[in-house]
């Protein structure tokens, strides 16, 4: 009798598990899978004929960011991808902090892509939240997507990493399909909200013929394609803002190419703004106009103590400067010979946003390969302290170029 009661209890427990446990499948929305990439100015000039020949079928292109920034390669990427028979989609990097800003950014995005004929749903890339609450993030997302749909008449999709799909974006957003980012897995993890994906970004270290350096690689399903293939209407209400500039002083080791990367612009734009006759010839002490994109950057000198394993190349990359600048500033005779414990003066470049004017902490620029764990070890701190100090929502997700307080 005792054994019978135990068997009955086990059966009852199993029945409860089947009745009350919710399971979520999370796979592609259809069996037809297309090979794709997503690109921005960081890939610079792309040979789309080679990209097409390598087997890529779909390319998502960054069109814009915030309320006033247009990717300098947007137009060329769109025209050349279309000319080579690739399916094209556009995405906008959202920086809004209010619902009103979300509406303005949706209007701006729509005006940038006005007159084009995308093949794929318009994507919202909202991943940097600052101090926003979960409710605010979802309200801003809804406002952006609803405004964009209303203006363009096109379907939209949400780009999100796995962490934010699980922890940040709410059920109210599941009426929009998802393009999920998760690296190093054969299939993205279930998030408990979306049952299928229409896009899966599986690496940011892809290699494709026709593109110099790494590129994001994706799988897309046929549902990501727009049912309406008409042009996006021109947004006649858009007002072109006069271009704002800041003035910098050329430092030892500066080149137009380096300054273009540093200030998120192009050599061609610097040549045009400054009426430069020879792009290969600029002078130390010369004043140059630089387009203002987002927050203004300014140069600051810091003192850095060389750590085990450091090279001037790695230090220069970390602090958005050049080896030549470090050599000149520190009168280094042999750039290949630096010592653990040696102190270096470095002209670094950081955002001038108020939250980075902090004399109590070291400011660190994330480089490729960094993790919070490796940064914590290097600076003798902990991941927990870095998370708290920088208000990091996902400790496994930091970005190249991001500035962290240490």
Q: Which residues are catalytic?
A: 38, 127
> Three-state DSSP class for 252?
coil
Q: In three state form, how does the secondary structure of 186-217 look?
A: CCCCCCCCCCEECEEEEEEEECCCCCCCCEEE
Helix (H) or strand (E) holding 404: strand 403-405
**Other Cβ atoms within 10 Å of 20 Cβ, number:** 7
Q: What does the alpha-carbon distance between residue 121 and residue 101 come to, in Å, rounded to a whole number?
A: 22
For 106, other C-beta atoms within 10 Å of its C-beta total: 26
- Those residues whose C-beta lies under 8 Å from the C-beta of residue 169, and which sit 6 or more positions away, are 137, 138, 141, 158, 160, 193
Residue 16: alpha-carbon gap to chain centroid: 44
Q: Which of 25, 28, 23 is nearest to 195 (CA)?
A: 25
């Amino acid at each position: 009798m005792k054994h019978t009661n135990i068997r009955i209890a086990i059966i009852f427990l199993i029945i409860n598990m089947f009745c009350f446990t919710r399971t979520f499948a999370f796979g592609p929305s259809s069996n037809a899978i297309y090979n794709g990439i997503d690109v921005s100015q960081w890939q610079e000039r792309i040979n789309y004929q080679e990209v097409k020949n390598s087997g890529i079928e779909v390319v998502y292109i960054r069109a814009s960011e915030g309320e006033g920034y247009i990717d300098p390669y947007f137009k060329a990427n769109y025209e050349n991808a279309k000319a080579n028979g690739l399916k094209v989609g556009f995405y906008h990097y959202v920086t809004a902090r209010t619902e009103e800003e979300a509406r303005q950014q949706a209007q701006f995005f729509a005006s940038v892509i006005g007159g084009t004929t995308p093949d794929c749903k318009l994507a919202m890339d909202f991943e940097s939240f600052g101090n926003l609450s979960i409710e605010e993030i979802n309200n801003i997302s809804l406002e952006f997507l609803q405004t964009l749909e209303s203006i363009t008449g096109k379907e939209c999709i949400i780009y999100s990493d796995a962490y934010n799909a699980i922890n940040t974006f709410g059920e109210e957003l599941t009426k929009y399909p998802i393009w999920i980012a998760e690296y190093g897995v054969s299939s993205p993890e279930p998030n408990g909200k979306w049952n299928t994906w229409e896009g899966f970004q599986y690496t940011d270290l892809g290699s494709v013929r026709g593109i110099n350096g790494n590129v994001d690689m994706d799988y897309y399903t046929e549902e990501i394609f727009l049912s309406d293939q008409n042009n996006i209407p021109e947004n006649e209400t858009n007002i072109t803002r006069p271009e704002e500039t800041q003035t910098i002083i050329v430092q030892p080791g500066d080149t137009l190419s380096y300054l273009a990367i540093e200030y998120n612009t192009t050599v061609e734009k610097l040549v045009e703004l400054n009426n430069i006759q020879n792009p290969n010839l600029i002078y130390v002490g010369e004043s140059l106009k630089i387009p203002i994109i987002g927050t203004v950057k300014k140069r600051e000198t810091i003192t850095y103590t060389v750590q085990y394993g450091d090279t001037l190349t790695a230090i220069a990359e970390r602090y958005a400067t050049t080896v030549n600048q470090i050599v000149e500033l520190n009168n280094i005779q042999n750039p290949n010979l630096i010592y653990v414990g040696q102190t270096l003066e470095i002209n670094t470049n950081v955002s001038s946003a108020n939250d980075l004017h902090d004399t109590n902490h070291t400011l660190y620029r994330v480089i490729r390969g960094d993790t919070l764990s490796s940064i914590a070890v290097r600076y003798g701190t902990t991941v927990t302290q870095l998370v708290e100090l920088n208000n990091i929502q996902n400790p496994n997700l930091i970005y190249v170029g991001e500035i962290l307080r240490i």
